[in-house]
Structure 1
Amino acid sequence: MRRTVVLVVALTLALATAGVGVWLAIAATAGNTDAAPSASSSPSASPTAPVTADDYCYVEAMIYYRVKEQELADTLLRKQGIDAGASGFATGIAARSEDELEDLRAWYLSWADARPAEPPADGPCGGHGADHAQMPGMPSWSILQGFVDAQHPDAERRFAEILQAQNAGMIALVTLILEGDPHPAVAGSAEEVLKQAEADQETLQGILDALP
């Protein structure tokens, strides 16, 4: 019971501070003067290529997706008696997302001039809202609370279903980005996200199929 209360409070605070979620995600690099991407820090980066609002939208949206992914994985790993396949996948997410966030944080900081003054009404980020909380696949409070309260095997089921919906949202976003004319660094990142999300969908379905 105490564990459930702690997790509910943690998620409540996370949702209450959604408007500063990106800032929290990049805080670790805010004072790092080496954070700006360059041709040497990213194979696909081009320092002379123009950065558009859509490029910035992609970076900001992916930070939200990856931070939420980490939160979900951490929540599952705090539970007892979790299926080995689900816990192994959650452990992998935590490390993988942090690696990707390193590049995203750097782009977020150095591309700040491309950030639109108002949330876009159309384009890849149309309808995402001011804090991207309305992005496709982002779980609602009631869904998150159900996951926090769940135990094996319902916890693994909810975890996989939430991530499947989030991955579908990421696939939709990066598909729109790649249909445009993205910055070379964004194009490379989006292609990797697309491949990873599609592979994860199969893994998550395998987790669901293995549950009693």
Structure 2
Amino acid sequence: MRSSALSSVVLRRGLLAGAAVTATLVLSACGGDGTSSGTGMNHGGTSSTSDAPASAAAGAAPSNDADVTFAQSMIEHHRQAIEMAAMADGRASDAEVKDLATKVRAAQQPEIDTMTQWLTAWGKPAAMPSMGGHGTDHGSMPGMMSEKDMAKLEDAQGAAFDKQFLALMIAHHEGAVEVAQEETAQGSSPDAKTLAQKIMTDQQAEIATMKKILEGR
């Protein structure tokens, strides 16, 4: 009986030892997987790092020089159009001219705000670089009025104002359409190109309207 009991104890110890060895091997294997997984995580880290620029690029508005020039030019262009439209208050006599001036101011200020935000995101100034130390060269932008043109419009009243306003705003809009066309052809920012197309559509429609009003005089 003692021999049988002893054999039983030895057997249990052998089984326990075997289990311990098995556990050690399993843990060792897991450790190996951990190392392999660690290497995999390093690869994953590399993959995440390579994805980071793409993510950053997606978060930043894509732009090129044409987009920047378009936004800076159109901001200046719109500001002058708003200034011209503001002159209609107390000077215009035609209801259609007054209505058009109101629409110009309502449409173009939000576009100025939008383009200013783009330039800030692109790390560019909203104002165009000064030309020759004399401020913005309006003459270099299509459709921009000279100081003399603006002074003459400001001095006009009634029907004379209406006629001058329409003639000058037609030329101003045609210049804006030209600037927008350059953006659609050369720009890379989808948002800027979309706005350029909108400006072309809106202002070409307003040009047609102004020409009809002017022809009826």
TM-score bucket of the superposed structures, by smaller chain: 0.5 to 0.7
Q: How far apart are residue 48 of structure 1 and its match?
A: 4.6
Matched, 1:205 2:211: yes
User: Are residue 169 (structure 1) and residue 175 (structure 2) matched?
Assistant: yes
Instruction: State the SS of the aligned residue for 1:112.
Output: coil
User: Is the counterpart of residue 159 in structure 1 residue 171 in structure 2?
Assistant: no
Matching of residue 98 in structure 1 with residue 109 in structure 2? yes
SS at match of 1:55: helix
Question: Which residue in 2 is equivalent to 1:61?
Answer: 73
The DSSP-based 3-state class of the residue aligned with 1:197 is helix
The CA deviation at 1:146 is: 1.3
Q: Which ranges in structure 1 are unaligned for 5 or more consecutive residues?
A: 1-45, 121-128
CA displacement, residues 162-188 of structure 1 (integer Å, 9 cap, x when unaligned):
111111111111112211242111111
The question of whether the paired residues in 2 share the 8 Å contact of 1:56 and 1:114 is answered with: no
Q: Which residue number corresponds to residue 71 of structure 1? A: 83
Residues 34-53 of structure 1 aligned to structure 2 (within 5 Å): 47-48=59-60, 50-53=62-65
1:131 aligns with 2:136: yes
One-letter amino acid of the counterpart of residue 131, structure 1: T
CA shift at 1:50, angstroms? 2.9
Aligned mates of 1:114, 1:91 — CA distance in 2 = 28
Instruction: Give TM-score, length-normalised by structure 1.
Output: 0.66
Structure 1 residue 113, shift from structure 2 partner: 4.4
1:83 equivalent in structure 2? 94
2:26 matched residue in structure 1: none
In the TM superposition, structure 1's runs of 4+ consecutive aligned residues that sit over 4 Å from their partners are 117-120
Q: Relative to 1, partners in 2 of residues 1:181 and 1:54: Cα closer, same or farther, differing over 3 Å? A: closer
Determine the C-alpha separation between the residues in 2 that align with 1:191 and 1:178: 7
Query: Alpha-carbon deviation of 1:75?
Result: 0.7
Larger helix percent: 2
Unaligned runs of 5+ in 2: 1-57
**SS of residue matched to 1:50:** coil
Q: Matched residues in 2 for 1:118 and 1:88: separation? A: 34
Aligned residues: 156
Name the CA distance, whole Å, in 2 between partners of 1:114 and 1:147. 30
C-alpha distance after superposition, 1:66-91 (max 9, x if no partner): 11111101111232x61101001111
Any idea what the Cα deviations from partners look like across 1:7-45, whole Å, max 9, x if unmatched?
xxxxxxxxxxxxxxxxxxxxxxxxxxxxxxxxxxxxxxx
Of structures 1 and 2, the one with the larger relative CO (CA 8 A, separation 6+) is 1
Task: Indicate conservation of the 8 Å contact 2:143/2:171, yes or no.
Answer: yes
**Aligned partner of 2:69: which letter?**
C
